[in-house]
Chains A and B, each alone.
Chain A
Amino acid sequence: MRERAGTESDAILGVVPGLVLEPGTAEEAATALSRCARDRLTVGFVGGGTELGLGHAPSELDAVVHTGGLARVIEYAPSDQVVMAEAGVTLAALQGVLAPQGQWLALDPPWPDRATLGGIVATNAFGPRRTRFGSARDLILGVSFVRADGTAAKAGGKVVKNVAGFDVSRLMVGALGTLGLLSSVTFRVHPRPEAAATVLFPAADAAQVTALVAAARAAQLEPSSAAALAVSDRFDLGVRFEGFSSGVSGQVERLLAAGRTTGLAGGRLADAEAASFWARHDAAREILPLRLKVSAPASRFPEVARAVLPPLLGELSPGAAAWYPSLGLGYVGGRPAGGAQASAAVVAARAAAAGMGGSVVVCEAPPELRAGVDVWGPPPPGFALMQRLKNRLDPDRRMNRGRFVGGL
């Protein structure tokens, strides 16, 4: 296993590790954590580094394990639509393996060229196709991981249906590496659609967006993606259908009709226009240096657009927001004018979202803003249980110490 001293470029939120370990196999990953256990080193995990801004800065960080060397696709059975790959495989690399068989992993988080499967699972990263296919939680079938003491273990399996034992695979989704180092992941994959079409409803207000999404559901349409991009106080709503071409065309027509009944004029985009709409979406998702994730019940979007987004966007220049209206999730980001005002805006937005049963998580933020706000918000109701679980799986709290909710 390669190892070296840590440098500035290995820092996680400004904390530079003394040691960097770069395993090339699952066995080496276990060896890496055994070594950290033996030497009582606190340790962080880095995949593609796309979501390293998520969470608190580590309260201690002796070592970092890079998973980039875990880059093999272990097993791919196209006829079973199941793929098992090491955690350091990037999403784009995996899609490259699946594409010749006419399949894909139906996850489309930002930065596919850098985002690794392990990182996507650990951060529960997702994109607009969550609308139809769900998130990593819905597509994961199994995991292999290394526990804090260096023990290699697995959970789940490699068939699409399996209820043997506790669902530790799903527990790993969004756990930010606090319960174990993922060494490989098994996913269900889907056929690549033969056709796609995006319908754009420009400059809709939040009530119209909500009404249109409800109308699409009432009309029994099944879009693969729906995203509303903020343009001043309005939204460009893009709805994408994917599947067999006859089904796509039929659904486009039905959606346009549903738009007319809600007073919204939309149009089917030409391929180049559709690509540019989704590129705008991607840019909104990948914006820096501040990025926040907002959750609220889908029907409350008008309230989100009134009480959550404006205080945030008001402090950002440039700023952008992408909202997934059927999921009740979205992202806001941009460049804050000043740290203190931006912190206050986050606090205000969080209070408004909490009032609807939702949340605001700071996914990326400049240091001056972090000082004024807890990036995760208050600990959730099950926090004591989360602590107990952490204590069982990592009793010395050495994995990603201090980074997760409540310093978990």
Chain B
Amino acid sequence: MAAVVGPRNCFADPAELLTYECDGLTHGRTRPDLVVLPGSTEEVAEVVRLARAAGRPIVPRGSGTGLSGGARPVPGSVVLGLSRMRRILEVNLPDAWVRVEPGVINLDVTRAVSGAGYYYAPDPSSQSICSIGGNVAENSGGAHCLKYGFTVNHVLGARVVLEDGSVVDLGGPALDAPGLDLLAVLVGSEGMLGIVTEVTLRLLRRPEATRTFFATFPSTDEAGEAVSRIIAAGILPAAIEMMDRLAIVAAKAATGLDWPDVGAALLMDADGPLAEVEHTSERAVDIARQAGALELRLPRDEAERQLMWKGRKSAFAAVGRISPNYLVEDGVIPRSRIAPVLREIEAMGQDHGLRVANVFHAGDGNLHPLVLYDVREKGQEERAEHLGGEILRMCVRYGGSITGEHGVGAEKAAYMREMFCEEDLETMRFVRAAFDPDGAMNPGKVFPSTPLCGEKPDRGGPHPAERAGLAERW
């Protein structure tokens, strides 16, 4: 492989392999045998052929910011890192798309076109370090997918290296190519169907105006009610985020923001044409007041707006200031059920003797409960893991999902049966087998390995990049 990618881009030294033992989910670690960093589609294809010939599983990897262990190696595997492939290949503003290599950082797509007034919509919180290839694998979302959708809604085409080293182009700038929509199932397939080496992304024109408000409430009941009423009024906010008391405390501690000590807060963005946005944001503010808002703050300028969002975005990492350890859950519930679900989470936390902070995408019901624990206290970590699992099961009981944006990965494979029956999983396995009959691409993810729920889900602490202040998770 060194002959294919050059000796510097192929290594097996244990010290160098260390970084690749896990992704953003740092708890479970497995050392790969080899890490290869190809620089082109041809090199990816050749590396895949060589690894397959040697009978080695292949684990594709972008920036390694995933939170579900989707890029965790398996024993004996070759990690195929796409970080060297980071060229923006073509920008086409008349048709509003850009063609990039998979290692390009999410935010760099927007940076490349922002001068012309365009942007790339999906905005996972790790967008300053996560890669487009990883976004495609996980069908990444973000705060603004309530209005703008997920990665799958913004990928027009992809060049894909399959398990046999062959290369296929799916989709393209023209819509509705005849045939099965393989691209639709490739996005979000967690690196198990193929490796994207080029991606064509849809760009959006920046909205004319954005209006933001921050509202505080006595409790999550009133805040949840406000969210329901805003949506029921026919308003489609660009983003509507909720924080509970504990999350607010943590965010204040981390940022020094002068937020009051309240039971809950909402942060909402409305964007679009000015006349429309002014109307919807005024109406949303009225609704929030009627729903029991204590205080409403409208940012005076963009700097103040950014500060409000910084408070929201830092809430995850900030939880580290009020607890030695925490685990991040990612479940979805019907958005009208936020208040009862949060009450239930609180009660479950009390039963487990643990605190739970909530900071999440309220508009689409995507919860991110942060279960706080101290690994030094005997039994706490296990209780935290148990509580996390109970929360996911409750999400399913409410008609929701075990993951809204972090993916199943290695972490939640054991929970797939909570949502899907054997026939559903079998269909997914047929899809997998059509693309990768030997299961060589990123094995050990998504599918529960045994018929019985005996697997132990994996958890994590802060990612190295997070500790270094490079990223936040939410």
Residues of A within 8 A of B (CB): 77-82, 102, 124, 134, 137-138, 147, 151-155, 157-168, 170-171, 173-175, 178-179, 190-194, 214, 217-222, 243-244, 246-251, 254, 293, 295-299, 327-329, 356-359, 361, 376-377, 379-386, 388-393, 404-406, 408
Contact = CB atoms under 8 A, between A and B. Distances in A.
Nearest to A216: B205
Contacts of A327: 175
Most chain B C-beta atoms within 10 Å of own C-beta, residue among A124, A218, A299: A299
A158 B400 CA distance: 7
Given A165-B446, A392-B430, 20 more contacts: A134-B153, A147-B423, A151-B426, A153-B424, A153-B427, A158-B399, A159-B364, A161-B364, A164-B402, A178-B180, A191-B235, A218-B117, A219-B208, A222-B272, A244-B280, A246-B275, A247-B272, A376-B179, A382-B182, A393-B430
Interface of B: 92, 94-96, 117, 138-139, 141, 145-146, 149-150, 152-153, 162, 168-170, 172-182, 184-185, 187-189, 193, 205-208, 228, 231-236, 272-280, 332-336, 361, 364-366, 399-408, 412, 416, 419-421, 423-428, 430-435, 446
Nearest to B283: A244
7 contacts: A134-B149, A162-B332, A163-B401, A164-B401, A165-B419, A167-B152, A168-B185
Contact of A247 (B185, B273, B431): B273
B405 A163 contact: yes
Contact of B139 (A167, A178, A384, A389): A167
Given A77-B334, A214-B94, A159 B446 contact: no
B232 to A, nearest CB: 6
A167 B188 contact: yes
B177 A162 contact: no
B185 A385 contact: no
Contact of B176 (A243, A329, A356): A329
B236 A164 contact: no
A171 B181 contact: yes
Nearest to B194: A385
Contacts of A404: 179-180
A280 to B, nearest CB: 23
A49 B366 CA distance: 38
Given A194-B234, A218-B205, A220-B207, A159 B334 contact: yes
Given A160-B335, A162-B332, A167 B145 contact: no
B177 A359 contact: yes
A171 B347 CA distance: 40
Nearest to B428: A166
B428 A389 contact: no
Given A134-B153, A153-B426, A359-B178, A161 B275 contact: no
**Closest A-B pairs by Cβ, 6 of them:** A250-B275, A247-B276, A191-B234, A170-B184, A220-B208, A79-B336
Contacts of B170: 381-382
Most chain A C-beta atoms within 10 Å of own C-beta, residue among B188, B234, B236: B234
B283 to A, nearest CB: 8
B282 to A, nearest CB: 10
Given A191-B236, A392-B431, A167 B403 contact: no
A166 B189 contact: yes
Nearest to B272: A222
Contacts of B366: 161
B178 A405 contact: yes
B432 A166 contact: yes
Contacts of B208: 219-220
B426 A389 contact: no
Nearest to A251: B273
Contacts of A171: 180-182, 184-185, 431
Contacts of B435: 385, 388-389
Contacts of A383: 179
Most chain A C-beta atoms within 10 Å of own C-beta, residue among B150, B162, B169, B233: B150
Given A151-B423, A163-B407, A167-B152, A190 B236 contact: yes
B273 A380 contact: no
A345 B375 CA distance: 73
B431 A153 contact: no
A175 B228 contact: no
A246 B168 contact: no
Contacts of A222: 272-273, 276
A166 B419 CA distance: 13
A386 B179 contact: yes
Contact of A174 (B181, B189, B205, B332): B181
A404 B434 CA distance: 18
Most chain B C-beta atoms within 10 Å of own C-beta, residue among A152, A293, A295, A393: A295
A338 to B, nearest CB: 26
A59 B139 CA distance: 38
Contacts of B174: 295-297, 328, 356-359
A243 B233 CA distance: 12
A140 B399 CA distance: 16
Contacts of A168: 185, 427-428, 431
A214 B402 CA distance: 41
Contacts of B434: 385, 388-389, 391-392
A171 B179 CA distance: 11
A138 B152 CA distance: 8
Contacts of B205: 217-218, 220
B423 A250 contact: no
B406 to A, nearest CB: 8
Given A167-B139, A393-B427, A77 B181 contact: no
Nearest to A146: B423
Contacts of B145: 161
Contacts of B336: 77, 79-80
Contacts of B228: 79
B412 to A, nearest CB: 8
Contacts of A79: 228, 231-232, 334-336
Nearest to B234: A191
B351 to A, nearest CB: 25
Contacts of A175: 180-181
B185 A162 contact: no
Contact of A163 (B146, B334, B400, B403): B403
B187 A167 contact: yes
Contacts of A191: 233-236
B182 A147 contact: no
A159 to B, nearest CB: 5
B138 A163 contact: yes
A389 B403 contact: no
A392 B435 CA distance: 10
B14 to A, nearest CB: 34
A175 B399 CA distance: 27
Nearest to B170: A382
Nearest to B406: A163
B115 to A, nearest CB: 14
A170 B185 CA distance: 7
A155 B180 contact: no
A160 B228 CA distance: 14
Contacts of A389: 180, 182, 430-431, 434-435
A160 B92 CA distance: 31
Contacts of A243: 276
Contacts of B139: 163, 167
Contacts of B153: 134, 138
Contact of A165 (B95, B178, B332, B420): B420
A214 to B, nearest CB: 7
Contacts of A247: 272-273, 275-277, 279-280
A220 B290 CA distance: 32
A153 B423 contact: yes
